[in-house]
Chains A and B, each alone.
Chain A
């Protein structure tokens, strides 16, 4: 394996990308968080507490499932890393338990979060309940409708859910509002950032906490196949499940990493969330990274059938991996995601979340050589999406009739 410099560097950069472009009032909290994580990430006490929670509360290690019928249908050997089987139904809990533990160590008495699909909100509300901290979750109003079951879950877990009515009323606006809350409450509040984006140290912190996905999967894959996969595939919105999976494989010989963005309904402005494949570098939410924006630097509108991928930016490490040729980025459309959803449901008996359904949908194109050994991060389960899928399938059938 080629030796790579440890990233990010001291300035929170992954090559050109990352940094911390935030108002001055947040700098002390980011400094404090970075220092705490530098100290605790290798601390046996902290690690032990987190590992015990991941085992006894989340149910880790999550299984690696051989998808036999899907494999037969496509001519690959496909393994699914089952983050959908985690407590709360997605990979998000890996991050929130770590961050809430960290918040406790920092003496913070309140946590806030943003959420798109609601999975991160549920995972934060869960961790907050477990540790007895009050929790406020900002969620775009549009997302509170399309992911209504998760709003109920958060409220039942004792969190306050605040619908955000600005702009497109989705994830981007939820992050804006959470950052405003944090600016006002930063002395006693920790912002549990949900994806591997945002100002430094969040991209590295979230990656480190999600890396358990890739580390487990690599070991499990070697046990099953006696070797590493040829391809590792994960969906990318902000990119936390992808970076957590990729982290164990970056630079591994013979392994190609594929990040699948939400292709929405087309390549026109406002029709997709393809920041890496159609965007240009810019600054949003504290980091320099690929971004969907107009000629004036205004952030562009986005669309995806999946709320969790509906975001115009992306974590800075993905931008670095793209430019360095260390990972490849592709897109799957809404329709392909639905096909992926249906394929996994009918061939494997698994209802995936619409986010990882993009990764499955992309594989349905058979983009890899015959016989490829493939690891897919199945980042979450599809219960939250049943209404969206039902409507989309009904509309597609109506249009096809």
Chain B
């Protein structure tokens, strides 16, 4: 399995920025082929969501995608199996809420993830101070435990997040939940600026990046951008070709 942090650092060292698309696993249309398509579109890494019944960090698009995925019978280990089946040579990061992880058991969840070649895991409702055991387990298995940083955090908090950071830091661009916004929030730059002196781990901006222009703007200071709702919206419209076209447009806007 490719090392998440190494891949993102290599991109930065080459003078480029990372483009990391997100798709909701288990959503009809999110197939191994689609994941391979995202890789071919130039993604540096791919985030695959394991749907949860109560996604409080998510806006309308990903809520709807989660609902449809669960309605279609999506199960956590099947999503992990899709990742394995795709056989990608880029890092895959799972993104899910804590309860599905807890239900399976942190250890078992990671064991299955590693077996499928997963490189990192993002659990948005598991902040650093609740994650002591989780961090150790991830470290022991060579999986990057990715944490969120958000606007409004205290300097002390940013230090804690920086110290825990592996893979990348998911810098939440704005106050609020996932979903496209008219404009990229100025707070994106603030979060990146606060973390930059504290860690060398790549800083990726996410939440609220809906257009290639916004991704490019975020990458002026950040090491990359993650894009979810804009792509998933095309998948909800049963337009996987449109989703891949959009992914390529993001890739073109984010310097390689």
Q: B127–A22 contact, CB under 8 A?
A: yes
Q: Is A401 an interface residue (CB 8 A)?
A: no
Of B53-61, B193-201, B228-236, B248-256, the one touching chain A:
B53-61
Q: A20–B99 contact, CB under 8 A?
A: no
Name the one of A23, A28, A295, A297 contacting B57, with C-beta atoms under 8 angstroms. A23
- Chain B residues, CB < 8 A from A295: 103
* Interface band, chain A: 35 or more
Q: Is A373 an interface residue (CB 8 A)?
A: no
Q: Bound complex: CA of A132 vs CA of B57, how far in Å? A: 30
Q: Bound complex: CA of A323 vs CA of B103, how far in Å? A: 19
Q: A298–B57 contact, CB under 8 A?
A: no
- Chain B residues, CB < 8 A from A29: 152
Q: Is B22 an interface residue (CB 8 A)?
A: no
Q: A184–B148 contact, CB under 8 A?
A: no
Q: Bound complex: CA of A31 vs CA of B148, how far in Å? A: 17
Q: Bound complex: CA of A298 vs CA of B103, how far in Å? A: 9
CB of A135 to closest CB in B, whole Å: 20
CB of B151 to closest CB in A, whole Å: 7
Q: A21–B98 contact, CB under 8 A?
A: yes
* Interface band, chain B: 35 or more
Q: B130–A20 contact, CB under 8 A?
A: yes
CB of A287 to closest CB in B, whole Å: 11
Q: B54–A299 contact, CB under 8 A?
A: yes
Name the one of B55, B102, B157 contacting A27, with C-beta atoms under 8 angstroms. B157
- Supposing A21-B125, A24-B150 touch, asked if A282 and B102 sit within 8 A by C-beta, the answer is yes
Q: In the complex, which residue of chain A has the Cβ closest to the Cβ of B125?
A: A21
- Chain B residues, CB < 8 A from A187: 152, 175
Q: In the complex, which residue of chain A has the Cβ closest to the Cβ of B174?
A: A184
Main DSSP-derived SS at the A contact region: mixed
CB of A126 to closest CB in B, whole Å: 27
Q: Is B19 an interface residue (CB 8 A)?
A: no
Q: A25–B100 contact, CB under 8 A?
A: no
CB of A37 to closest CB in B, whole Å: 18
CB of A197 to closest CB in B, whole Å: 13
**A 105-116 binary contact with B (CB < 8 Å = 1; else 0):** 000000000000
Of A175-183, A218-226, A261-269, the one touching chain B:
A175-183
Q: A24–B54 contact, CB under 8 A?
A: no
Q: A167–B53 contact, CB under 8 A?
A: yes
Q: Is A285 an interface residue (CB 8 A)?
A: yes
- Chain A residues, CB < 8 A from B100: 296-298
Q: A19–B130 contact, CB under 8 A?
A: yes
Q: B99–A299 contact, CB under 8 A?
A: yes
Q: A24–B176 contact, CB under 8 A?
A: no
* Those of B151-192 within 8 Å (CB) of chain A: 151-154, 157, 161, 172, 175-177
Q: Bound complex: CA of A218 vs CA of B53, how far in Å? A: 41
Q: B103–A293 contact, CB under 8 A?
A: yes
Name the one of A11, A167, A184, A282 contacting B99, with C-beta atoms under 8 angstroms. A282
CB of B98 to closest CB in A, whole Å: 5
- Chain A residues, CB < 8 A from B104: 296-297
Q: B127–A24 contact, CB under 8 A?
A: yes
Q: B130–A25 contact, CB under 8 A?
A: no
Q: Bound complex: CA of A185 vs CA of B177, how far in Å? A: 11
**B 136-148 binary contact with A (CB < 8 Å = 1; else 0):** 0000000000011
Q: B99–A284 contact, CB under 8 A?
A: yes
CB of A378 to closest CB in B, whole Å: 32
Q: A298–B53 contact, CB under 8 A?
A: yes
Q: Bound complex: CA of A355 vs CA of B150, how far in Å? A: 39
Q: A28–B152 contact, CB under 8 A?
A: yes
- Chain A residues, CB < 8 A from B53: 167, 298-299
- Chain B residues, CB < 8 A from A351: none
Q: Is B75 an interface residue (CB 8 A)?
A: yes
Name the one of B52, B54, B99, B175 contacting A25, with C-beta atoms under 8 angstroms. B175
- Chain A residues, CB < 8 A from B177: 180, 183-184
Q: Is A283 an interface residue (CB 8 A)?
A: yes
Q: Is A146 an interface residue (CB 8 A)?
A: no
- Chain A residues, CB < 8 A from B154: 28, 31
Q: In the complex, which residue of chain B has the Cβ closest to the Cβ of A178?
A: B56
Q: Is B70 an interface residue (CB 8 A)?
A: yes
Name the one of B59, B126, B127, B152 contacting A186, with C-beta atoms under 8 angstroms. B152
Q: A296–B76 contact, CB under 8 A?
A: yes
- Chain A residues, CB < 8 A from B13: none
- Supposing A21-B125, A166-B63, A184-B177 touch, asked if A297 and B157 sit within 8 A by C-beta, the answer is no
CB of B197 to closest CB in A, whole Å: 19
Pairs A–B under 8 Å by Cβ, sample size 25: A20-B130, A22-B125, A24-B124, A24-B127, A24-B149, A24-B150, A25-B148, A31-B154, A167-B53, A176-B54, A176-B55, A179-B56, A183-B175, A183-B177, A184-B176, A187-B152, A282-B102, A285-B56, A296-B100, A296-B104, A297-B52, A297-B101, A297-B102, A297-B103, A297-B104
**17 extra interface residue pairs, beta carbon distance < 8 Å, beyond A24-B153, A291-B99, A298-B53:** A20-B127, A22-B125, A22-B127, A23-B148, A27-B153, A180-B176, A183-B175, A183-B177, A185-B175, A186-B152, A283-B125, A295-B103, A296-B104, A297-B99, A297-B101, A298-B70, A299-B54
